[in-house]
Amino acid sequence: MHISDSTEGYEVSVMMTKTFRLGSALLAVMALGNCTGFDAPDNLEPIAEGDGYQAQYRAIDGSRNSAQFLRSPAINAQKCTAPRGGTGGKGAGLAAASLRGERLTRNDLVDIRIGDDETFNGDYVVSRDGTIKLPFLAPIRAQGQLTSEIENDIAEQLIARDFFVDRPRVSVRVADFASVTVGVSGAVFEPHAVEIGGVPGDQVDSRRQTALGASTEGRNLSAALRAAGGVRPDADISAVELRRNGALYLLDMRGAFEGKNAVDIMLLTGDEVSVPSRGCFQEDLMRPSPISPPGISLFLSNLTQPAAGNAISAVGRDVREVPYGTRYLQAVINTNCVGGARASSAHRSSVLFSRNPVTGVSVVIERDIEDLVRRADRDDYDPYLLPGDSLACYDSTITNIGEVGRVVGQLAL
């Protein structure tokens, strides 16, 4: 009897344990079932009314069958102010013309030679105060000057100080352009002081080191805008502001998107660049250009179906690079969130995490991928990706049920 009682007690204990586990499993199923119907993400921006940074952020209103003509371009354009540079850009063209040429700044290296007199011949560095100091002469202003202007100033001083009676032959040639530090603000993605130009020591060959003359694109205005993250899609590139020595110049950079940028001037140390905003999202600026962001880096998150990880997807371990101008749906496909077996992979959803670059307010956009793929008006609700955006993919309904079944099986053991 003692053994029998013990056996019956053990069986009761096992039954109670299984009942407890089954109850826990049912509670888990109920809990997981309650988690399937989340509300749409809330945002501080009035996205539903189309007042987000992009009109494409607004929610999908209506079914695919009632899809109407595209409205995003018109909604985005409603907030646009007129371009300050106008349509002709004549004023900006005159400003650019007055700034053209290879102008010197401090720390530039120049080779100076005087005909018939080797006293002044040699290499000179533009001093911190922006002058070139030749022996026996007053400092020659070099900051912002062309080499031809410096040649004239040297010749005038040589005559004035009785070194020559007639105008001597003077040669000033740039031997090396130094890097410059300029401030970039306004409608760029990363406004800050940037250092541009200069060539790393391991990239200078011996022939260039011994040759006369120098040339560089690294000190151009476009290089400074790229170093500051590139222009935002709300930028007014028709009137980019350049402040130099107390003067304000307006430069028309629209040619950068047309393959004919004639105003890409050289910058000097101390220049300040500011890009004004038109107050609206301009889709025509969402494409690669010399002043656009270099591209978008995407971190691959939650790849459980149809890919079990980043490495086996052959897209890199951490991130995937996509071109600037990539849309949300393109990025979702690019990160393996679409495709696979239709029965098990359809009806997935994805979430875009972004930030309004003007206000700094975070934005969260959720889309049903299958619905977006099949909409005729998908471009109305398919946002462009901006630098710093992130994506997260959620599994399909069948995958969720499978996960519930797996959890129930584990709890019922």
* pTM, rounded to two decimals: 0.79
Spans in the chain with pLDDT lower than 70: 1-38, 64, 66-67, 86-94, 199-215, 261-262, 300-319, 340-346, 396-413
Can you give the pLDDT at residue 403? 53
**Scanning the structure block, which residue is given the tokens 């905003």?**
277
Alpha-carbon distance 395 to 403, whole Å? 10
Q: Are 327 and 383 in contact (CB under 8 A)?
A: yes
Encode burial over 3-22: b for 16+ CB neighbours within 10 A, e otherwise. Answer: eeeeeeeeeeeeeeeeeeee
**Do 90-102+179-279 and 109-176 have matching folds?**
no
Can you give the pLDDT at residue 45? 84
Q: Which of 91, 88, 83 is closest to 251 using CA atoms?
A: 91
DSSP 175-235: EEPPPEEEEEEESBSS-EEEEE----GGG--HHHHHSS----STTBHHHHHHHTT-B-TTB
Can you give the pLDDT at residue 14? 44
Can you give the pLDDT at residue 171? 94
Can you give the pLDDT at residue 405? 56
Q: Please give the structure tokens belonging to residue 42.
A: 């809330």
Can you give the pLDDT at residue 1? 45
Can you give the pLDDT at residue 13? 53
Q: Give residue limits of the domains in the chain.
A: 47-80+292-397, 90-102+179-279, 109-176
Is 90-102+179-279 in CATH node 3.40.50.970?
no
Helix or strand or coil: residue 88? coil
Alpha-carbon distance 398 to 385, whole Å? 29
Q: Are 315 and 335 in contact (CB under 8 A)?
A: yes
Encode burial over 55-80: b for 16+ CB neighbours within 10 A, e otherwise. Answer: bbbbebeeeeeeeeeeebbebbeeee
Q: Which residues contact residue 89 at a Cβ distance below 8 angstroms, ignoring those fewer than 6 apart?
A: 238, 252, 254
Task: List the CATH code of the domain at 109-176.
Answer: 3.30.1950.10
